[in-house]
Amino acid sequence: MYEDVNRYLNGLKKWKSELTRLREIILDCGLIEDFKWMHPCYTDNGKNIVLIHEFKDYCAILFHKGVINQRH
């Protein structure tokens, strides 16, 4: 696991448990954890797949457009 992601999650005031659970689910899928754009980002074969992000009133899982061409 990526230390910057640990610091990010530990610093959250809202959505910590939800984003921590999303992290666990994503890592179970075999994606590689990284930290980009000040948020946890998960990749496959060097391509960005998904980002987890907190907002004021909700948290989100954001899929990158590059995921379309990942698997054939």
pLDDT of residue 68: 61
pLDDT of residue 70: 52
What is the number of structural domains in the chain? 1
pLDDT tens per residue across span 23-72: 999 999 999 999 999 999 999 998 899 999 999 999 999 998 755 655 55
Q: For 66, which DSSP code?
A: G
Asked if residue 14 has pLDDT above 90, the reply is yes
CATH number of residue 58's parent domain: 3.90.1150.200
pLDDT of residue 66: 55
Domain that includes residue 27, residue range: 3-69
pLDDT band at 9 (very low <50, low <70, confident <90, very high): very high
Q: Taking the model in full, what pTM does it have?
A: 0.83
The CA angle 12-59-14, to the nearest 5 degrees, is 30
